[in-house]
Amino acid sequence: MLTKNRASLESRRAFLKGTAEKLTAAMLVAEGARAVIGFAAPAQAGQPHEVRSDSPKLKIGVFDPAFSDLSLDQLIEMIKEFGIQAVEIGSGNDPGNAHCDLDGLLADDSRRRAYMQQFEKNNIMVSAFSCHGNPVHPDTERAKREDAVYRKSIDLAAKTGVNHINCFSGCPGDGTGKHPNWVTTLETDEFVDILKWQWDSVLIPYWKDLNAYAQQRNVKVGLEMDGGCSVFNVATLLKLRHAAGEQIGANLDLSGLFQLGVDAVAVVKKLGEEGCLYHMHGKDIMLDAENVAVNGLVDLTPYEDIPHRSWSYGDIGYGHDLGVWKDIVEELKAVGYEHVISLEHESPFTTARVGVAKSVQALDEILLDRATVRS
């Protein structure tokens, strides 16, 4: 039963929004204090410069919802300031559409061209339009709304030449209720029957149709494997792809898979072998070994109760160490992935600007097509 106690169980998005606001306020106070006291930045021993391949294949990108407070012009300036080469744009549903008027851009060719030119003139690639939602929700009106955003995002990706969208598979109900029902065990016949009905009667028919829609428009659909979704690991992704069609692939977000205890390199290798690694998020989790030892990785402890959680989201380099991420990058190169690592900030420990900047620094250190040296 849903009661007033629900207020204490913040959703991930509500928790992150509140945490970001508090961190930003604290940083502004600290910056003001430094200015009053008169601290100066330490001098550098030498001027760094970058050595880079002529045509870097793997770009650093950023996912824009963490910066919904910025105008598009401000977002572009921040991307340039951080040396980021790509942006993933939220086009509606869960990510919002702070920098993408989906209906307006679809309706007006000249406006759409001008929109894309803002990125092109600044040498910024749009890596995908992202519209994570639940188009198979048992609330049929909600499902229709979120499906419409999926299809419009596919249309926009086709019309702009971006040719990628990212989203969730969604999760149906059980055929009788009004809430999604994420089955995670086959312990009883009842669960087995629900799972079979979800896949045979809802998921596969829906995604066959959407796969055909995307195929007609030459758009790849990257599904993010995440808890609460029917596609939550590699096996369920491949089950849906094999049943519904090859426009469907992965938007690989390892933070969701690290929660399952996977080996990231093995995941990249398998997706590469299947030819379905379409897009990638740069995000990590920090594991609390003591809490994992007691409770495992499936964790419904409130997000704000960090000391008692088994894991919390982290920036790259602040979850798994850079040795792990170097292995991941090497395997990405080995399987021929040449698109983007799009940074999605959800860490409760840093502001969005600081978290993304630190993740850029970490990736700059480990990507195989660049190096920073001091003169």
Calpha distance 10→190 (Å, rounded): 30
| Confidence at residue 12, expressed as pLDDT on a 0 to 100 scale | 60
- Tens of pLDDT, residue by residue over 115-166, are 999 999 999 999 999 999 999 999 999 999 999 999 999 999 999 999 999 9
- What's the chain's Rg over C-alpha atoms? 21
Residues with Cβ within 8 Å of residue 353, at least 6 apart in sequence: 78
Amino acid at 40: A
Structural domain including 75 reads: 54-172+208-284+323-368
Cβ neighbour number for residue 178 with a 10 Å cutoff: 10
| Confidence at residue 20, expressed as pLDDT on a 0 to 100 scale | 55
Q: Which of 307, 170, 277, 290 is nearest to 226 (CA)?
A: 170
179 in a domain, yes or no?
no
Q: What is the share, in percent, of the chain residues with pLDDT greater than 90?
A: 82
- Tens of pLDDT, residue by residue over 235-287, are 999 999 999 999 999 999 999 999 999 999 999 999 999 999 999 999 999 99
Calpha distance 199→203 (Å, rounded): 5
Burial 111-123 (b: 16+ CB within 10 A, else e): ebeebbeebeeee
| Cα atoms in the Cβ-side hemisphere of radius 13 Å centred on 187 | 3
121 in a domain, yes or no?
yes
125 in a domain, yes or no?
yes
Calpha distance 268→218 (Å, rounded): 24
Q: How far is CA 72 from CA 67, 75, 109, 333, in A?
A: 10, 5, 19, 32
Q: Which of 257, 251, 256, 298 is nearest to 277 (CA)?
A: 251
138 in a domain, yes or no?
yes
- Tens of pLDDT, residue by residue over 331-347, are 999 999 999 999 999 99
CB 341 within 8 A of CB 277: no
254 in a domain, yes or no?
yes
Task: With a cut of 70, say whether residue 72 has pLDDT above it.
Answer: yes
| Confidence at residue 22, expressed as pLDDT on a 0 to 100 scale | 58
Which H helix or E strand runs over 74? helix 72-81
338 in a domain, yes or no?
yes
| Confidence at residue 19, expressed as pLDDT on a 0 to 100 scale | 59
Q: Which of 269, 284, 289 is nearest to 341 (CA)?
A: 284
CATH number of the domain where residue 63 is located? 3.20.20.150
| Confidence at residue 246, expressed as pLDDT on a 0 to 100 scale | 98
Cβ neighbour number for residue 110 with a 10 Å cutoff: 7
Tokens of 288: 């609390």
183 in a domain, yes or no?
no
Calpha distance 318→327 (Å, rounded): 16
Amino acid at 111: R
Domains in the chain: how many in total? Answer: 1
